[in-house]
Amino acid sequence: MRTNLAYQRCINPTCAATYDTGELHTSCPKCGYLLDVSYDWDKAAVPDKLSDFEAMWSQRFNPVRFSGVWRFHELLPFAPQERVVTVGEGQTLLQQADAVGKFVGMNAGQLHLQYEGMNPSGSFKDNGMCAAITHANLLGAKRAACASTGNTSASLALYCSATQLMKAIIFIGSGKISYGKLSQALDYGALTVQIAGDFDDAMIRVREIAQRLGIYLVNSVNPFRLEGQKTIMFRVLEALRWETPDWIVVPGGNLGNSSAFGKAFMELKQLGLIDRVPRLAVINASGADTLYELHERRGVRWNGGHVDLDPIREYNDHMDRHGIKADTLASAIEINRPVNLKKCLRALEFCEGVVRQVSDQEILDAKAKVGAGGFGCEPASAASVAGAKLLRREGVIAPSDRVVCVLTGHELKDPTVTVAYHTTDQEVFQKTLGSRGVTKASHANKAIAVPNELDDIIKAIQLYA
Ligand code: F0G
């Protein structure tokens, strides 16, 4: 008879092995599937209705309730409140973005952008990292590691520097990480290991090394991290006054977010806290489109947990045989072997999800629109807006639907791509974007060059503004 409120459970229904929360596994030791953090909700003090969480706002003097993650502690109660780690994450914003909505093809008032780049390290990762570091600290870990396209590493590095609880060790692919993200890891003092390979290679290595050296792994195969990422959806619901939107649109890389969002809605439904579940759209970059290929082209489904593994193996073999590597300017999602594939399939099934792919051109055009109509985002984040536009064009999303696009990372994460898009210098454009298949910058806001003469400067301003 289990007495703990929280435990870990294998997501494979024919295995369903359970483990104590005092252990860290990044896959089920019995069958190799991913694990969930599960709860005996009867033992938890879950509020009767979501609006009860509004009362937590009045307790913002308490760091636990200040946190946009731990404010919802009752919905992720794997650690006692007095042991949770927080740096003040989750103060993020849902913006009704009519200018971007027009670009997407939505009716006024219907498109919302969830700005997760407002987190302390500039991306949504902090939602999950505070949960992973809480768990690592409970286990007494002194070193924590991750492979990263840049944001997970920035987040881990920040939590380690700000809390001094443990040392960060990060693995990144060569030349694959944007300067904004690399500079964070270096500045925050993480041990930074640049391996000759891409993210998928780094991910395989870090799992081996974490296992061998007993280092705590914070990638999203860690089920505790995903508990924190559920709260992005809680905050979206809160901002919509607890009304469920019609669509959640999110970029897909390693598929941690989409998996966490699916789990959030599964639990809220099970707990009777929502009566309707939104549909989920996961958007790949076309140069890193494994989920799209498997879900939309090869028909791979969660199927109640009985995933047909053959098409997945065949596609992985195909990528190996042809040396296919992920390739997109949206470097955050430049991933071909998403570790959370099966959990994401579960989320897609539960949320009647769809998967789409968008080109780098579409991503950068959408990004420019987000910048011009809001607070901006990094390239990978704009895949959600480009994806919503595509789904609108296809008629899958109706203009009257209420849509939330999750903007996962901050505008300043990748200035190289942004400046190259807006540049007047053809060489810069060609080197950074043209060489990667982007042909135009239809929404560029080009700087104007003027002589250093008062009259010329005034003339230029009169002409353009
Ligand atoms: N958007 C941004 C800005 C990201 O950094 C990532 C993932 C994603 C979207 C994809 O999210 O993996 O949950 O599907 N970045 C990871 C990293 C892989 O290492 O920072 P996902």
3-state secondary structure of 436: helix
Q: How far is the CA of 44 from the centre of ligand 1 (A)?
A: 31
The Cα–Cα gap between 282 and 47 comes to 30
Model confidence pLDDT, tens digit, residues 379-408: 999 999 999 999 999 999 999 999 999 999
**Pairing between strand 93-96 and 111-115?**
antiparallel
In the sheet with 35-39, reading across from the earlier edge strand, the strands are 18-19, 6-10, 35-39
Phi first, then psi: what are they for 287, rounded to 5°? Answer: -85, 5
* Prediction pTM value: 0.97
User: Does residue 365's CB lie within 6 angstroms of at least one atom of ligand 1?
Assistant: no
Residue 416, pLDDT above cutoff 60: yes
Looking at the chain, the whole-number percentage of residues with pLDDT higher than 70 is: 99
Give residue 369's identity as a one-letter amino acid code.
K
Give residue 346's identity as a one-letter amino acid code.
R
Atom of ligand 1 nearest to the CA of 117: 3
Mean pLDDT for 361-382 is 97
Which of 151, 182, 204 most suits a substitution to test ligand 1, by most atoms within 8 Å of the C-beta?
A: 151
User: Does residue 441's CB lie within 6 angstroms of at least one atom of ligand 1?
Assistant: no
Q: How far is the CA of 237 from the centre of ligand 1 (A)?
A: 22
Please, what sign has the CA dihedral across residues 135, 139, 140, 142?
negative
User: Does residue 101's CB lie within 6 angstroms of at least one atom of ligand 1?
Assistant: no
- CA 415, distance to chain mean position in Å, is 19
In the sheet with 167-173, reading across from the earlier edge strand, the strands are 191-195, 167-173, 143-148, 216-217
Residue 7, pLDDT above cutoff 50: yes
The Cα–Cα gap between 359 and 287 comes to 7
User: Does residue 340's CB lie within 6 angstroms of at least one atom of ligand 1?
Assistant: no
Question: Which stretches of 290-397 are assigned E, i.e. beta strand?
Answer: 354-358
Query: What torsion, rounded to 10 degrees, do the Cα atoms 16, 262, 207, 149 define?
Result: 170
Atom of ligand 1 nearest to the CA of 150: 20
Q: In the structure, what pLDDT confidence band is assigned to residue 96 with cuts at 50, 70 and 90?
A: very high
**Opening angle at CA 450, ends 447 and 452, nearest 5:** 130
Model confidence pLDDT, tens digit, residues 46-77: 999 999 999 998 999 999 999 999 999 999 99
The Cα–Cα gap between 465 and 461 comes to 6
Looking at the chain, the whole-number percentage of residues with pLDDT higher than 90 is: 97
Question: Which stretches of 31-123 are assigned E, i.e. beta strand?
Answer: 35-39, 93-96, 111-115
Residue 242, pLDDT above cutoff 90: yes
3-state secondary structure of 217: strand
**DSSP H helices in 188-338:** 199-213, 223-239, 256-270, 290-292, 310-321
Which pLDDT belongs to residue 175?
A: 81
Give residue 65's identity as a one-letter amino acid code.
R
Only one residue has tokens 């919802």, namely 72
The Cα–Cα gap between 225 and 336 comes to 21
Residue 347, pLDDT above cutoff 80: yes
Residue 3, pLDDT above cutoff 80: no
Query: What torsion, rounded to 10 degrees, do the Cα atoms 98, 104, 110, 111 define?
Result: -70
Closest protein CA for atom 10 of ligand 1: 253
The Cα–Cα gap between 383 and 6 comes to 35
**DSSP H helices in 96-171:** 98-104, 125-138, 151-163
User: Does residue 206's CB lie within 6 angstroms of at least one atom of ligand 1?
Assistant: no
Per the prediction, the chain carries an average pLDDT of 97
